[in-house]
Amino acid sequence: MATHPDPKKNHLLAALPADEWARWLPSLEPVDMPLGEVLYESGMAMTHVYFPTTSIVSLLYVMEDGASAEIAVVGNEGIVGISLFMGGETTPSRSVVQSAGEGFRMRGQLLKNEFNRSGPVLHLLLRYTQALITQMAQTAVCNRHHSLDQQLCRWLLLSLDRLQAPELVMTQELIANMLGVRREGVTEAAANLQRAGLIQYRRGHITVVDRKGLERRTCECYAVVRKEYERLLLAESSGTK
């Protein structure tokens, strides 16, 4: 028997009050989100917003020479396409599926209408935006001041928080593109983590075998981001139930 995808696997959707949930549900369209799919290109007009459930989307800034670096990740905690309701309509970043899975999408105009009601939806989306800005700022600080080992630990933990299993399907080349570093650096950092018994890496599959150890090895940036999401969004979710 086929199972139907559940929109409430996305924490932002699950945090909607009952009246808003009933109004939103008919407008939520289930979508497959395959690895590498580009949801938005830099400067592209946005027509939909996306709510990942079992997928992860990377927000990347792409340079003129084609080099890129990840500025944030969005998974089952949030929404892809904040520029639509913040009034920008476009963004200079690229949104690409980093980990394949499923999600839901909604027409951008419908979300803008909901945002402009100036009720619970506005406050929920603004809290999420604040949490996302914190992640972007902390990523910039981390990339400037912390070792590649610490950056990789932070990236793995943020990704794991948005998945339902301790395994990532991800090549070292793709991780290097996300972190904006050379592949050789990622190879060395991953080998260090594997020797320490924290992860197992084989043929594009990374399995975290000691999450607590990974948390001890990373810098403070991961905890800052996680605590801000919990403060702004988990409290909101529990308060609406």
CATH number for the domain including 169?
A: 1.10.10.10
pLDDT of residue 30: 96
94 alpha-carbon distance from chain centroid: 13
- The beta-carbon contacts of 220-227 under 8 Å, at least 24 apart in sequence, are 221/138, 221/139, 221/141, 221/142, 221/146, 221/150, 221/154, 222/153, 222/154, 222/157, 222/158, 224/134, 224/138, 225/131, 225/134, 225/135, 225/138, 225/158, 226/157, 226/158, 226/161
Q: Are residues 78 and 173 in the same domain?
A: no
Please say if the pLDDT value at position 76 is more than 90.
Answer: yes
Helix (H) or strand (E) holding 97: strand 94-99
Q: Are residues 204 and 126 in the same domain?
A: no
Q: Find the mean pLDDT for residues 60-83.
A: 86
Residue 236 inside a domain? The answer is no
pLDDT of residue 237: 52
CA torsion 161→38→131→89, rounded to 10°? Answer: -160
Residue 102 inside a domain? The answer is yes
Q: Are residues 32 and 82 in the same domain?
A: yes
More confidently predicted of 235 and 45: 45
Residue 229 inside a domain? The answer is no
How many domains does the chain fold into? 2
Identify the burial level of 50 via C-beta atoms within 10 angstroms of its C-beta, where 0-12 means exposed, 13-18 middle and 19 or more buried.
buried
pLDDT of residue 173: 77
What's the sign of the alpha-carbon dihedral 185, 191, 197, 200?
A: positive
Model's pTM, two decimal places? 0.87
Domain of 43 in residue numbering reads as 7-142
